[in-house]
Structure 1
């Protein structure tokens, strides 16, 4: 009679299962340029947790906030080149690649959540096509709250912005500074707080959420609720990495992205009101802009949209036309 060494078989099975699990499980690093407490980062952490739970730990996403792994302008290239499989990017900063990345940062074009949702419906298919050609897949996009104007002095008209040092982070904010007759200074999100404290900049357009992140009240006393635009952050994944996943993991990742987009839009709306109250609590003057200032900004927005349309191509013009219908 042959006797089977059951303990040995169990040990071998355990080793095999452990090895198989090690092969299947994946750890992905996800860099972002924003603070850990920023609602975008909080939402992304919830997304990462959801992915881990939905995949029983077979896909784990490690979030690296505050430009701790890559600076914001470097993140998309890092994903495309395979340095990381996934990352978060501020869409409007990609305007040099394609004008359609920048349409949601056009001043006073889509300046409410309702308009931003309508714009995203017509913009999203085109963004997905562009990314696919670059070897990337869109997982989700979430808007910032409406952007306000911050300055270290009262601003009652566009002319009051002349001569100020204005924070720029893409082609459009640089162009806006030129139209203000201000001096554009390129500063990335992780460096704004220091730039404000040292006086390198004394004006910028950003959300109240960003103003809280920067503790802007320590350097700037005026926040004008101009609701200029609602730019979106998007989380993209390498198509090669995505395609290497099993169908089950792909489905879990896509579903978590869809849920993160829905939750992010809700969080953006909630944080818009909360953060303005935080600014007031810390001594900033949160003000409604004067009619003269609004009219002047709208005129500049019209100029910038006309300039954008010149280079937007048929796809860009079709998106604008669809949005306006």
Structure 2
């Protein structure tokens, strides 16, 4: 080997070593299957970050609770075991009422209102997560929540004693208010719970029903459109601050794009999911007036409870939401 060639090879090796040392690798755990639209959005987000940073920041998405269970992800990010993660905000209502705001039935039950609520809620979420050593990158709403049940229901009284899946404090509280038997089951465990009869009813979106093949075990979905909970993608604050400024900017830009894309896809797929459930043999019901009235009463109780626990700051958030909601309604064109 000539001295020149040896020198060139040595320089190339140094360059590769330098590139490798400059590359940052992050883990991003999620609780949902690869086919779920949230997970697909996460994978696209990671690819966008990789491209925008020229490979300097590589994010590996770990779906279906394969790295951490749903209720463990936030703690893992907070403690630095994972640099980023996706969480269902309502799962952490017991930590702080701010996390529970989008889980109150009938407070915001359309995509338009859910987006208004997010815009109002976001500064408080940012502040709360920052105080816990994290940052909010983006959040995306699930499709509106309905009731899956084995039997026909016309009112809340028909659900008394039913084995009800609870996956958050809000859904556990609903069980308490309607007289159901709550059973704590996270998304990754739901298919098995349905197959074994551990649960016979639950409240979630068309997306969850499709992903878990609920139609194989339950034949009724009541499209109550009760609320639109959000998944939030969070990042460890120290991990974020360790990135150089161009990488931070690229990450935030990709997050903003994932936010917009996720909301759009969620809304587009809402009707698609319900059609898929119907095609698989599930009956999609419009709730009877009595059932809707009963559930709205449940929502009113939960909102009052929330405002009491959240105090003046929380009450101000709800007031701001209702004001923004009324302003948006006033600007909206009249429906023919």
For this structure pair, what is the TM-score category when the shorter chain's length is used for normalisation? over 0.9
Q: Mapping of 1:88-103 within 5 angstroms?
A: 88-103=86-101
Give the unaligned 5+ runs of structure 1. Answer: none
Question: Structure 1 residue 169: deviation in Å?
Answer: 1.1
Count of residue correspondences = 322
Is residue 186 of structure 1 aligned with residue 214 of structure 2? no
Question: Structure 1 residue 271: deviation in Å?
Answer: 1.1
Quote the Cα distance in structure 1 between the aligned partners of 2:219 and 2:54: 48
Instruction: Indicate the RMSD between aligned Cα atoms, in angstroms.
Output: 1.0
**Partner residue in 1 for 2:282:** 284
Q: Mapping of 1:205-244 within 5 angstroms?
A: 205-244=203-242
Question: Structure 1 residue 214: deviation in Å?
Answer: 1.0
Cα deviation, 1:235-267, whole Å, max 9, x if unaligned, reads: 000010000001111011100000000000000
Cα deviation, 1:93-148, whole Å, max 9, x if unaligned, reads: 01011101111010111000010011011100000000001110110000000001
Kept after mapping to 2: 8 A contact 1:107/1:298? yes
Pick from 66, 80, 83 the counterpart of residue 82 of structure 1. Answer: 80
Quote the Cα distance in structure 1 between the aligned partners of 2:170 and 2:294: 17
**Partner residue in 2 for 1:196:** 194
Is residue 294 of structure 1 aligned with residue 264 of structure 2? no
Question: Structure 1 residue 37: deviation in Å?
Answer: 0.4
Quote the Cα distance in structure 2 between the aligned partners of 1:49 and 1:315: 38
Bigger mean CA deviation after superposition, 307-316 or 247-256: 307-316
TM-score (norm 2): 0.94
Q: Find runs of 4+ consecutive structure 1 residues off by over 4 angstroms.
A: none
Question: Structure 1 residue 12: deviation in Å?
Answer: 2.4
**Partner residue in 2 for 1:263:** 261
Q: Mapping of 1:40-79 within 5 angstroms?
A: 40-79=38-77
Quote the Cα distance in structure 1 between the aligned partners of 2:281 and 2:232: 32
Quote the Cα distance in structure 1 between the aligned partners of 2:10 and 2:196: 63
TM-score (norm 1): 0.98
Question: Structure 1 residue 5: deviation in Å?
Answer: 4.0
Quote the Cα distance in structure 2 between the aligned partners of 1:275 and 1:134: 36
Quote the Cα distance in structure 2 between the aligned partners of 1:118 and 1:75: 27
Question: Structure 1 residue 28: deviation in Å?
Answer: 1.0
Kept after mapping to 2: 8 A contact 1:126/1:315? no
**Partner residue in 1 for 2:157:** 159
